Amino acid sequence: MQYISATDAKKTLGAVITKAQREPIVIQKQNKDAAVIISPEDYERLTRLNIEEFQQFRDKVAKQAAARGLTEKKLSALLASDN
pLDDT at position 83 is 59
pLDDT at position 75 is 87
pLDDT at position 4 is 97
Return the domain boundaries, the chain: 2-38, 41-81
Q: What string of pLDDT tens digits covers the 83 residues of the chain?
A: 999 999 999 999 999 999 999 999 999 999 999 999 999 999 999 999 999 999 999 999 999 999 999 988 998 888 898 65
**Cβ(5)–Cβ(30) below 8 Å:** no
CATH no., domain 2-38: 3.40.1620
